[in-house]
């Protein structure tokens, strides 16, 4: 738990998250236009996307399937559902209504487990369509009000979205960060979305309130424009303190939507409840109710890959690392856990295998070119002290550059030959003789003195000595 999320005077933070994710479909939610990020503006459009008169929506079956994957991965119930129109005027909303799900969403009543067995309820995960993108020019705010002109790109309009609404079960900003990270890992694992917060394919709205335990929840504020996992934590911490300060100063929290400004680290009022739109929801008459047959749901469930939590646990057990530690999280997120298992199966040292992959394989994707047996061989060279850890890192770079190879031969080529124990011992004794002052200080418990001794030995060995082995030897001799 981060320090900043602890509120003074017994105040308790209450957070719920609404996360929008763009689905990784080939085409849009209701038409055959491409769903692709980064194309020239207004190239992925058609009569349906533009809401031209007479155009009608047709549901994308793949979008439904991806939404069901999300629901099943979040332990939701999948139910017969309907679509509604949410009516409001804005230039990037071509029909002046968004097709979304209202009182009968596809996925309901699920949960997501955070590290430490913290269960966060999922109220619903429903399907809807994205809007286009407005860019405002001139004026100071970057918003439409006060701008000179605005440009509209409808490539994003009609892109399928799933909105995942958590229950207000989150109690710290750290939990909120973990929730978003875990949700992202799940979305990637089930192939539902590329979940790139920086490209907007995953977007968080954060509902924050504070109360004293045992009393009803406080009035909540919804924070928008939170575009990274780090911002989630910062925005919550700021907003919680703002609310506590406001209440303790005799004020009241107004229900409102607030805008997170990442640069200033503050939230500011976007609109209050009073000027909220009346969306005039009603059943979308251009679509019929959707009731996925049980056989379809079962097929999707059976095809679900193992989820990140289970994969981390399996991997952590295999490699002897913490299941909630960085190496397990990172390797599973990159989808490299199968590869690590393969390295271990080829005789690799388990802990070194996962750490090497975590540290050096960031760009190599789920199926690195380096043969598992070669990486396994390198971990063994290091484990058996045939090379030092510094040398192993160099060899790892060589191995990745070459795309594999005989690591023993590579070590020889580099002139990496491990010193045998007697040679090392001789060097250590020589160093003690050459630096008696330092040796005495070290024996008296002055750890800093160790540096001079190790440095002398490394110099004498021309870098071939293993720093760890040298230190261990010096410790042994000092205690003797």
Partner 1 sequence: MKKLVEIVAAVGGGSLTATSVLEEHLDRIKAREGEIHAFNLVTAEQARTDAAKIDADIKAGKSAGPLAGVPIALKDNMCTRGIETTCSSKILQGWKPPYDATVVGKLRAAGAVVVGKTNLDEFAMGSSTENSAFGPTKNPLDVSRVPGGSSGGSAAAVSAGFAAASLGSDTGGSIRQPAALCGVVGVKPTYGTVSRYGLVAFASSLDQIGPFTQDVRDAATLLEVIAGHDPLDSTSIPQPAASLVSVLDHGVKGMRIGRVTDLPEGCEPDVLARLEAAFDAMRDAGATIVDVKLPSLQYCLTAYYLIAPAEASSNLARYDGVRYGNRVDAPDLNAMYAATRESGFGEEVKRRIMLGTYALSAGYFDAYYGKALKVRRLIADDFASAYAKVDAILTPTSPSVAFKFGSKTDNPLAMYLCDVFTIPTNLAGHPAMSVPFGLGADSMPVGIQVLATTLGEQSMFKVAAELERAS
Q: Residue numbers of the site for partner 1 (CB under 8 A)?
A: 47, 50-59, 85, 87, 89, 91, 94-97, 144-145, 152, 278, 280-282, 285-288
Pick the closer one to partner 1 by CB: 159 or 236: 159
For 58-95, b where at least 16 C-beta lie within 10 A, e where not — what string? ebbebbbbbbbbbbbbbebebbebbbbbbbeeeebbbb
Pick the closer one to partner 1 by CB: 58 or 472: 58
Closest distance of CB 258 from partner 1, Å: 22
Pick the closer one to partner 1 by CB: 4 or 257: 257
Sequence-separated (6 or more) residues with CB below 8 Å from residue 62: 23, 25, 26, 27
Pick the closer one to partner 1 by CB: 276 or 472: 276
Closest distance of CB 135 from partner 1, Å: 14
Strand partners, 113: 119
3-state secondary structure of 260: strand
Closest distance of CB 96 from partner 1, Å: 3
CA-to-CA distance for 42 and 132, rounded, in angstroms?
10
Pick the closer one to partner 1 by CB: 256 or 466: 256
**231, 105 Cβ separation under 8 angstroms:** no
With vertex at residue 178, the alpha carbon angle to CA 174 and CA 179, rounded to the nearest 5 degrees, is 115
Pick the closer one to partner 1 by CB: 55 or 460: 55
Our CA dihedral for 438, 440, 443, 447, rounded to 10 degrees, sits at: -30
Closest distance of CB 56 from partner 1, Å: 5
For 347-371, b where at least 16 C-beta lie within 10 A, e where not — what string? ebbbbbbbbbbbebbeebeeebebb
Of 162, 124, 127, give the one whose Cα is nearest residue 289.
127
Closest distance of CB 105 from partner 1, Å: 19
Closest distance of CB 204 from partner 1, Å: 27
Closest distance of CB 92 from partner 1, Å: 9
Pick the closer one to partner 1 by CB: 60 or 201: 60
**197, 232 Cβ separation under 8 angstroms:** no
Pick the closer one to partner 1 by CB: 92 or 262: 92
C-alpha gyration radius of the chain: 29
What's the first-to-final CA gap in the chain, in angstroms?
43
Closest distance of CB 83 from partner 1, Å: 10
Closest distance of CB 403 from partner 1, Å: 48
Burial classification of residue 1, based on how many CB atoms lie within 10 Å of its CB (0-12 exposed, 13-18 middle, 19 or more buried): exposed
Pick the closer one to partner 1 by CB: 9 or 140: 140
User: Two tokens at 60?
Assistant: 């994308």
Of 213, 226, 117, give the one whose Cα is nearest residue 173.
226
Closest distance of CB 55 from partner 1, Å: 7
Q: Helix, strand, coil: what percent of the chain each, to 5?
A: 40, 20, 40
Closest distance of CB 157 from partner 1, Å: 11
Pick the closer one to partner 1 by CB: 286 or 406: 286
**359, 389 Cβ separation under 8 angstroms:** no
Pick the closer one to partner 1 by CB: 59 or 443: 59
Q: Return the H-helix or E-strand segment holding 308.
A: helix 308-319
């Amino acid at each position: 738990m981060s320090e900043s999320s602890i509120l003074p005077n017994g105040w308790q933070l209450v957070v719920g998250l609404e996360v929008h994710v763009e689905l990784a479909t080939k085409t849009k939610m209701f038409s055959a236009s491409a769903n692709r990020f980064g194309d020239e503006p207004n190239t992925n459009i058609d009569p349906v996307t533009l809401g031209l008169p007479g155009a009608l929506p047709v549901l994308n079956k793949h979008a439904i399937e991806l939404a069901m994957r999300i629901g099943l991965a979040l332990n939701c119930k999948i139910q017969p559902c309907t679509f509604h129109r949410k009516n409001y005027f804005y230039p990037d909303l071509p029909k002046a209504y968004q097709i979304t799900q209202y009182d009968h969403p596809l996925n309901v009543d699920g949960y997501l487990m955070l590290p430490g067995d913290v269960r966060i309820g999922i109220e619903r995960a429903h399907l809807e369509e994205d809007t286009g993108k407005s860019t405002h020019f001139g004026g100071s705010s970057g918003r439409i009000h006060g701008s000179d002109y605005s440009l509209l790109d409808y490539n994003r309009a009609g892109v399928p979205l799933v909105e995942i609404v958590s229950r207000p079960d989150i109690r710290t900003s750290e939990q909120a960060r973990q929730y978003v990270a875990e949700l992202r890992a799940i979305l990637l694992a089930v192939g539902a979305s590329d979940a790139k917060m920086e490209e907007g394919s995953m977007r968080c709205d954060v509902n924050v309130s504070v109360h004293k335990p045992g009393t009803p929840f406080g009035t909540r504020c919804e924070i928008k424009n939170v575009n990274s996992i780090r911002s989630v934590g910062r925005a919550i911490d700021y907003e919680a303190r703002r609310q506590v300060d406001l209440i303790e100063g005799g004020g009241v929290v107004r229900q409102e939507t607030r805008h997170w400004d990442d640069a200033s680290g503050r939230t500011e009022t976007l609109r209050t409840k009073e000027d909220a739109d009346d969306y005039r929801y009603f059943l979308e008459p251009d679509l019929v109710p959707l009731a996925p047959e049980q056989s379809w749901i079962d097929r999707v469930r059976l095809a679900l890959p193992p989820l990140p939590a289970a994969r981390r646990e399996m991997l952590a057990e295999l490699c002897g690392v913490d299941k909630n530690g960085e190496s397990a999280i990172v390797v599973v997120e990159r989808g490299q856990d199968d590869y690590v298992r393969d390295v271990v199966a080829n005789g690799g040292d388990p802990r070194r295998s996962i750490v090497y992959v975590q540290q050096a394989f960031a760009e190599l994707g789920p199926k690195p070119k380096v043969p598992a047996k070669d990486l396994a061989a390198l971990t063994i060279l290091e484990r058996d002290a045939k090379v030092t850890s510094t040398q192993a890192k160099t060899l790892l770079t060589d191995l990745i550059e070459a795309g594999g190879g005989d690591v023993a031969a590579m070590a020889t080529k580099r002139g990496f030959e491990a010193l045998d124990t007697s040679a090392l011992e001789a060097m250590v004794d020589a160093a003690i003789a050459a630096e008696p002052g330092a040796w005495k200080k070290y024996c008296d418990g002055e750890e800093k003195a160790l540096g001079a001794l190790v440095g002398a030995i490394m110099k004498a060995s021309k870098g071939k000595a293993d720093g760890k082995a040298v230190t261990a030897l010096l410790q042994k001799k000092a205690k003797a």
